[in-house]
Structure 1
Amino acid sequence: MNKTKETFVFGFALFAGFFGAGNLILPPMLGYLSGPDWWLVAFGFLISTTLIPLLSIFAHAKLQGTLYDFGKKVSPLFSFIFCLAMLLITVALPCPRTAAVTHEIAIQPFFGTSAWLTSIIYFVLVFIFVINRNQVLNLIGKYLTPIIVSIVILIIGIGIMSPSMTITPSGFEVPIISGLLEGYQTYDAMAGMIMGGIIIVSINNSNLNLSFDDKRKMIAKSGLIAMIGLFIIYAGLIAVGAIYNSQFEASISRTNLLSGLAAKTLGNFGSAFLSVLVALACFTTAIAIIVSIADFFKAYFKQFQKAYLITAIICCLIGIGVGQMEVKYIIDIALPALMFIYPLCIVLILLNVIPEKYASELVFRGVVMVTFLFSIPDFLGFLLPEDNLKWIKNMIPLANEGLGWVLPAMVTFLGINLFTSDKNKEA
């Protein structure tokens, strides 16, 4: 297989990894709420869901290591704790969300059974596949993603070409920032940091004898292919959500909106077909998440033979407990954790992309520490009454928009580089 064909194979594989059912339910709601300002909210959303994840793949192309390598310049202990936090958040939030999305889109509308029953059966089946690592998953993933993409492209195409409709005004004060922060819920930046390592392993296991530089170019191009695909789907779904925003009631949920858009563009059969495929996509995503986490702990606790099994059991039990909740609730409770971990993800991605001369160990430590400290008010803002933090948020630029860490991190980055540059000149 030549390098160009291999690059596209890896690019499509990376796209399939990013492309989860949870991602499908977020963009339409953004378009629905933003109305005529959909292009502004799309701009913000695409920064956090395509640009930053693309940079994470570029960072992997440069590092050619694992998630652990992103934070090792800060310290080995920090990097391990950061990896652990990333994995715990992943198993506690996006993984159970796949069960909740499956229930609301594919089970409840047709069978009316309880969320507990769906969650229990769902994660029992997930556990069976995780333990057996059945090859059938590869077949499902191989054919499933192209079918879902085709259906979504049809929804977008028919929706955009629909006759002009009345569009309800935007409900966002600052659409770009609203889109940017909603993008956190896709977990795409986190996925990029975790999944980039999979592409590296795949390239190393291929029959291609590539140099470090050749692998760097292939990884970067694969990431670009994947992100172009996500860009088209995200922007399209936001646009369609905006075009049809006067066709649905104000209190509609994210899952019902996606199903409603499928019904209006493809008919009831298309809506039912989409529901089944989304459920299967959720299922394979949950398995992939739990396998990766179980593998991590198996590798870390090498002397403990049952580490994989016990990790899988714990993940599935957490999945059952959280997965029976409503999708909206899971998204809401995720906000504090994401407001805390995402800024760290973003600065680690950016610091690993820029040239080495601007990203010394001192820069890494200073920027990460400042980002951590200035993310605390954003994190606490979802846990404490707003008035309790008003005085401190008013002192920090962009803190009221949930981006209080941005300017302090930039000032720290510039300050340390200027200080070290002047010191080197004096020497």
Structure 2
Amino acid sequence: MNDRKKILVTAFALFSLFFGAGNLILPPKLGFQSGELWLWVALGFCLSAVFVPILGILAHAKLQGTIFDFGKKVSPTFSLIYSFIIYVISISLPSPRTASVTHEMAIQPFFDSPSWVTSIVYFALVFVFVMNRSKILNVIGKLLTPGIILILLAIIGVAFFNFKFEFMTLTYENPFTNGILEGYQTFDAIGAVVVGGVIIVSINLQYKEDSYAEKKALIQKAGWLAGLGLFLIYAGLIVTGALFRNEFGELTTRTELLRSISLETLGSIGNLFLSALVSLACFTTAVGIVTGAADFVKSRFNGSQNAYLVTAIIGAVLGVVMGQLNVGDIIMVAFPFLMLVYPLTIVLIVLNALPEKFTSPKVFKAVVVTTLIFSLPDFLSSIPFLEIPEKTFQWIPLAKFQMGWVLPALVVFVLMNLIGKRKA
């Protein structure tokens, strides 16, 4: 396989592993809510759902290991706990969410079958793909992703060419930060450390003879290409949602809006195309998550295939059980955890992507501890049953935007590097 084809197949696989349930249902609703402020929302959303995840892929290109390598400069114990939490969250929340979205949007409109039947069939197929992990890169990169992209382009293209660019003026406070926080719900930063590991293992299986430098260049180029694709699709879906505000008025759910847009753009066949799109997008992400978890556990048990098998079974069973919740419930349960884990993941991604001279173990430890401390207020404030007065944490810069960890982490990073230079 020539280099260009390698890059394209890997980029398609990356795009598809990232583009799952949240990536499909969140952007249109964001645009729908933002109206003429869609650009600010799109920039915020793409910062947390495109730029940071692609930085994660670039970090993987440098490390060429597993998720464990992201935190080992803090300490092996921290890295192991962090990796465990990430995989538990991944197979318990975003993976089952893909089955919930598939049932609500691809099965329920056509068949009067219970959600548990959908989940069992869905995760049985996921299990089959996971157990044939050596073929994942080719199957997803060559076959499934082109279908996803073509249907998305059809929906966005029809909206762009058939509707006037007239947007409603809406009251939408903090569109940029709202976009960033909504980007958390895609799980893409977490996805970067999970599916990036899947890509590393797949490349090592498929291109065994390539050198470290060749693999690094391949992953970097594929990462930027996948990032460009994600940016264009997200921006297109956000604009499409904004354009349809005049058409639909107030709609209550994200899935209802996406279904209405597909019918309006693709006509009576819209439901069929949307069902195919949802099924493909969700399925590839679930495969990536369960495969990533199984790969990691296998690596911690000296390459044991039994450990891989058991983890794959647990991932599939959890997917069936948690998949019985509806999409809104899963998003609600996930949000507090994201407010704590997401900032930590972003910091680990950025630190690993930066040059080594700026990221000594001492810098890692100081920045990570600072991030954890200043993420706690956002975590506590996002728990529904905790009634914390609004002004309690307002003394922290950017706290009102639920990003109180950003400046403290940045300040500590700069100070630790200045101290390090003086001692040198």
Normalising by structure 1, report the TM-score: 0.91
Q: Structure 2 stretches of 5 or more lacking a match?
A: none
- SS at the partner of 1:164? coil
Q: Distance in 1 between matches of 2:294 and 2:6?
A: 28
Q: CA deviation at 1:384?
A: 5.1
Q: Distance in 2 between matches of 1:251 and 1:329?
A: 18
Aligned 1:21-170 pairs, distance under 5 A: 21-127=21-127, 130=130, 139=139, 142-164=142-164, 167-170=167-170
Shift in CA distance, 144/212, structure 1 to aligned 2, threshold 3 Å: closer
Q: Distance in 1 between matches of 2:159 and 2:140?
A: 28
The farther-off stretch of 1-10 and 34-43 is 1-10
Counterpart residue identity of residue 85, structure 2: A
Shift in CA distance, 399/141, structure 1 to aligned 2, threshold 3 Å: same
Shift in CA distance, 123/208, structure 1 to aligned 2, threshold 3 Å: closer
Counterpart residue identity of residue 163, structure 2: P
In structure 1, the partner of 2:254 is: 254
Counterpart residue identity of residue 362, structure 1: K
In structure 2, the partner of 1:18 is: 18
Q: Say if 1:118 and 1:324, in contact at 8 Å, map to a contact too.
A: no
Q: CA deviation at 1:341?
A: 0.8
Counterpart residue identity of residue 89, structure 1: I
Identity of paired residues, percent? 50
Shift in CA distance, 129/217, structure 1 to aligned 2, threshold 3 Å: closer
Q: Structure 1 stretches of 5 or more lacking a match?
A: none
Q: Distance in 1 between matches of 2:217 and 2:126?
A: 36
Q: Say if 2:12 and 2:141, in contact at 8 Å, map to a contact too.
A: no
Q: Deviations over 1:130-154 (max 9, x none)?
A: 4576969964763232122111101
In structure 1, the partner of 2:243 is: 243
The farther-off stretch of 353-362 and 33-42 is 353-362
Q: Say if 1:144 and 1:277, in contact at 8 Å, map to a contact too.
A: no
Q: CA deviation at 1:332?
A: 1.6
Counterpart residue identity of residue 293, structure 1: A
In structure 2, the partner of 1:343 is: 343
Q: Distance in 2 between matches of 1:111 and 1:163?
A: 32
In structure 2, the partner of 1:319 is: 319
The farther-off stretch of 131-140 and 203-212 is 131-140
Counterpart residue identity of residue 232, structure 2: I
Counterpart residue identity of residue 104, structure 2: E
Counterpart residue identity of residue 232, structure 1: L
The farther-off stretch of 35-44 and 396-405 is 396-405
Q: Distance in 1 between matches of 2:303 and 2:51?
A: 40
Q: Say if 1:56 and 1:192, in contact at 8 Å, map to a contact too.
A: yes
Q: Deviations over 1:334-371 (max 9, x none)?
A: 11111111101111111112222211111100000010
The farther-off stretch of 67-76 and 310-319 is 310-319
Q: Deviations over 1:288-325 (max 9, x none)?
A: 32233233223324598743443333323322222111
- RMSD of the alignment, in Å? 2.5
- SS at the partner of 1:388? coil
Shift in CA distance, 127/16, structure 1 to aligned 2, threshold 3 Å: closer
In structure 2, the partner of 1:403 is: 403
- SS at the partner of 1:390? coil
Counterpart residue identity of residue 146, structure 1: P
The farther-off stretch of 70-79 and 312-321 is 312-321
In structure 2, the partner of 1:412 is: 412
In structure 2, the partner of 1:382 is: 382
Q: CA deviation at 1:33?
A: 0.7
- SS at the partner of 1:172? coil
Q: Say if 1:59 and 1:349, in contact at 8 Å, map to a contact too.
A: yes
In structure 1, the partner of 2:357 is: 357
Q: Say if 1:137 and 1:284, in contact at 8 Å, map to a contact too.
A: no
The farther-off stretch of 6-15 and 378-387 is 378-387
Q: Distance in 2 between matches of 1:127 and 1:194?
A: 17
Counterpart residue identity of residue 42, structure 1: A
In structure 1, the partner of 2:299 is: 299
Shift in CA distance, 152/305, structure 1 to aligned 2, threshold 3 Å: closer
In structure 1, the partner of 2:225 is: 225
Q: CA deviation at 1:86?
A: 0.9
Counterpart residue identity of residue 316, structure 1: A
